[in-house]
Amino acid sequence: MQLTFIGSGDAFGSGGRLNTCFHVTGDSVNFLIDCGASSLIGLKAKQVALREIQAIFVTHFHADHFGGIPFFIIDAQLFSKRTEPLTIVGPPGLRSWYERFMETSFPGSSRTQHKFTLSLVEMEAGQQAMTFAGVTVKPFQACHGNPGGPFFSYRLEAEGCVIAYTGDTEWTDHLIQAAADADLFVAEAYFFDKKIKFHLDLKTLLEKLPLIHPKRLILTHMSDDMLGRLEHLEHETAYDGKVVEF
């Protein structure tokens, strides 16, 4: 299995990094975790074969995690000439948010007949795991806005490997189950030790890490506060273009 950080940045381009988008491939699976507004740029820069991506797992509907969907879909229709099915999985409200983003970005596009089958699948936090495109996914409630809002952390299993991703969230005990013993745990570390609502700081994450026991931890979605400390950090960090084999 291989994960490429297409985009590892926050919403505001800290450090010149692209918005969140991770590309995961294996012997038979090929999927994205989040698709932020700049994702198509990053995917094309890495010469990713877009038609081969089978699924996109969306954590929430902020533009730096979901805003690349319209560009991906229009490219699939007009330029990549996609014919293969595509599944987009996300929190409740996915279908309405998809239409809103499509219409805001390209008016009239949400009613265009695709040349490929597009499935929009809404899941509920804590529900039983489901399998799409060879990936078994279980969503957990993240704390990134209104309580119970449409924000997910994910536990994804494919080809015998487990990837966990916090999404954007302040600490919640749901992360323990989401990431327990994961082969790869990709975690937001927005600030070093400053605690703010709806985001995770590194100090809190490290205090809770013994409860999770991931086999590998990589920090992402870092603000300038974190990026200015990179050379002094003891923990592995993401950057745009970083490739992880596991």
pLDDT 10s digits, 31-73:
999 999 999 999 999 999 999 999 999 999 999 999 999 999 9
With a cut of 90, say whether residue 142 has pLDDT above it. Answer: yes
- The tokens for 245 are 């084999």
If you average pLDDT over residues 103-121, what whole number do you get? 94
With a cut of 90, say whether residue 87 has pLDDT above it. Answer: yes
Q: Can you name the residues that pair with 217 across neighbouring β-strands?
A: 185
More confident call, 85 vs 113: 85
With a cut of 90, say whether residue 109 has pLDDT above it. Answer: yes
- Rounded distance between C-alpha atoms, residue 136 and residue 158, angstroms: 6
Instruction: List Cβ neighbours of 117 (8 Å cut-off, separation of 6 or more).
Output: 85, 86
- The tokens for 164 are 């966990």
- Domain assignment present for residue 199? The answer is yes
Q: Do the strands 130-132 and 135-141 form a parallel or antiparallel pair, or are they unpaired? A: antiparallel
Dihedral sign, Cα of residue 169, residue 171, residue 174, residue 177: positive
**The domain containing residue 206 runs over which residues?**
2-235
Instruction: List Cβ neighbours of 150 (8 Å cut-off, separation of 6 or more).
Output: 60, 61, 90, 91, 92, 93
- Secondary structure (3-state) at 43: helix
pLDDT tens digits, 233-246: 999 999 999 999 98
pLDDT tens digits, 181-230: 999 999 999 999 999 999 999 999 999 999 999 999 999 999 999 999 99
Backbone angles phi, psi at 207, to 5 degrees: -65, -35
Domains of the chain: total: 1
Question: pLDDT band at 133, cuts 50/70/90?
Answer: very high
Q: Can you name the residues that pair with 201 across neighbouring β-strands?
A: 191
- The tokens for 107 are 């008016």
- Domain assignment present for residue 244? The answer is no
- Rounded distance between C-alpha atoms, residue 218 and residue 241, angstroms: 14
Rounded to 5°, angle at Cα 226 from 221 and 227: 85
Q: Judge if pTM exceeds 0.75.
A: yes
- Domain assignment present for residue 95? The answer is yes
- Domain assignment present for residue 243? The answer is no
- Domain assignment present for residue 178? The answer is yes
More confident call, 112 vs 42: 42
Find, among 142, 143, 164, 144, the residue nearest to 152 by Cα.
142
- Domain assignment present for residue 242? The answer is no
pLDDT of residue 111: 86
With a cut of 90, say whether residue 127 has pLDDT above it. Answer: yes
What CATH code is carried by the domain that includes residue 9? 3.60.15.10
Find, among 183, 188, 191, the residue nearest to 221 by Cα.
188
Question: pLDDT band at 112, cuts 50/70/90?
Answer: confident
- Domain assignment present for residue 240? The answer is no
Find, among 194, 233, 167, 192, the residue nearest to 22 by Cα.
167
The overall average pLDDT reported for the chain is: 97
- Domain assignment present for residue 90? The answer is yes
- pLDDT exceeding 70 applies to what percent of the chain? 100
> How many C-beta atoms surround the C-beta of residue 161 within 10 A?
17
Find, among 107, 100, 24, 16, the residue nearest to 62 by Cα.
100
